[in-house]
Amino acid sequence: MKKVVIIGGGYAGIYALRELVKNKNIKITLIDKHTYHNLQPEVYDLIANKSNFADVTIDLTTLCMGFNHNHLEFKNLKVRRIDKEQKKIFTEEKEIVEYDYLILAAGTRTFFPPQIPGLNHADDIKKLHRAIDFKQSFEKQLFEKIRDEAKQCADTHIVVVGAGLSGVEIAAEMAYYSNKFFKRGNFSCDNLKISLISSSASILPGLTQELINISQERLKSLGINIITNTKLQKVEEGYCYLSNGTKINHSFVIFTGGVEASPLTEGLNVQTNQKGQLLVNEYMQALEHENIFAIGDIAEIRNNKDEIMPPNVTIARISGTVAGKNVLKSIEGKSLIKTNPKLDGILIALGGEYAAGNLFGLIHVKGKLAYFIKKYVFHSYRKPLLKLIKSGYNKFRKF
């Protein structure tokens, strides 16, 4: 019986798994250091109190039990090393997992440039536990502000560094949440400020000008201070120092300035780019390694025009699905299928029931319409997974 291992239970890994379970005669092992699949694009709703922990996670144990597959197991392990020659995975827990085919879907992590002193003061909300810590710290500061407002009205200033999708979305959600909070309570100490810093000439570099304009107008209406053509140079307790020669006070610094691949790729001795992402061919195989596939954010994925595709859920779906199909085809001795990833579009959450988007490169949408389209896309992904974890939970309860 062939053994297939997926490392990483994120979007790409789940899409690959959904293909692999179609073959009932292989052994499938899903490995992740977390017990849950983090629905990362929705974490901003969690921070802004629009959802709770259960809304932004999928339990991997019950998910695997929910699939109708007798040789599928989930292992909550932290991978330390992969031996390609022996086809063995070594873990921090000293458990060794063997494989015939390996699918790497371990994703990326926030990259903190070492040349910027003091970034240890910054919050990394890409990780769910760090996002929850930030949420709790922020709410505690709001409580202290209201508690002491008759004696003093201390400034609260959130500085978001990086004006790509993540930076724009978190700034918008925090601003909307804060405005709603102070308006609902009619609190007098409502001097919370949010600054968004972009090293580029505008926010959302690389997106269409119309989408940039819509987003910028929305951010300004929420009271967000946008600073462009400026880099963060240093962070100290209470202050950020910027490349334009100014310093601004901060209560919280959220850093979204870039990503790097999982450290798993460092010792794998395969071809990678400068971010540590694995280079893959059109079949999603790591170069020169037919039994190793890389999908989602951990891979540098190109279309047939040789353009690098952005790391998002659409590319995770396409790459995960193709890799899953190609592993099965490899096992069956069939010809592999090529991938030519294309974006369905892009949708940006901009606080409350407001979003902006570009659909299929043809039309721009904004406001509630874009918001409900974004929610529909999310629910379309989450709904079948909820059915699986419910089925898995019922099986688990019978043991």
Q: Are residues 180 and 223 in the same domain?
A: yes
Write down which residue in 238, 255, 272 finishes a domain: 255
Q: Does any domain span residue 239?
A: yes
Cα pseudo-dihedral 358, 364, 365, 367, rounded to 10 = 100
Res 214: pLDDT = 97
Give pLDDT, residue 131: 83
- Helix or strand holding residue 222 (H, E): none
The answer to whether position 82 is within a domain reads yes
Confidence at residue 150, expressed as pLDDT on a 0 to 100 scale? 66
Q: Say if residue 105 is in the same domain as residue 126.
A: no
Q: Please state, in angstroms and as integers, the Cα–Cα distance from residue 32 to each residue in 107, 271, 287, 292, 331, following that order.
A: 11, 23, 24, 17, 24
Residues 179 and 101 in one domain: no
- Domain assignment present for 191: yes
pTM of this prediction? 0.91
- If asked whether residues 92 and 134 sit together in one domain, one would say no
Count of domains for the chain: 2
Let me know if residue 210 belongs to a domain.
yes
Give the CA count within 13 Å in the CB-facing half-sphere of 110. 22
Looking at the fold, whether 235 and 150 belong to one and the same domain comes out as yes
Report yes or no on 58 lying in a domain: no
Same domain (yes/no): 126, 230: yes
Low-confidence stretches of the chain (pLDDT < 50) are none
Q: Domain of 213: which CATH number?
A: 3.50.50.60
- My answer on whether 226 and 287 are in the same domain is no
Final residue of a structural domain among 306, 323, 343:
343
User: Domain ends where: 205, 231, 255?
Assistant: 255
- Asked if residue 69 belongs to a domain, the reply is no
Looking at the structure, tell me whether residues 10 and 124 fall in a common domain.
Answer: no
Judge whether 376 lies within some domain: no
In whole angstroms, give the CA distance from residue 354 to residue 207: 18
Beta bridge partners of 286: 280
| Region of residue 244 (left: phi > 0; alpha: psi -120 to 50; beta: else) | alpha
In a shared domain, residues 202 and 249 = yes
Q: How much is the pLDDT for 230?
A: 96
Same domain, 134 and 213: yes
Q: Find the domain containing 251 and state its range.
A: 119-255
Residue 380: inside a domain = no
DSSP 8-state assignment for residue 125: T
pLDDT at 344: 83
Q: Are residues 196 and 297 in the same domain?
A: no
Residues 238 and 282 grouped into a single domain: no
Please give the Cα distance from 296 to 40 (Å, whole number).
13
CB 66 within 8 A of CB 391: yes
**Distance spanning both ends of the chain, measured CA to CA:** 26
Q: In what order do the strands lie in the sheet with 101-104?
A: 72-76, 27-32, 3-7, 101-104, 292-294
Q: Within 13 Å of residue 350, how many CA atoms lie on the same side as its CB?
A: 30
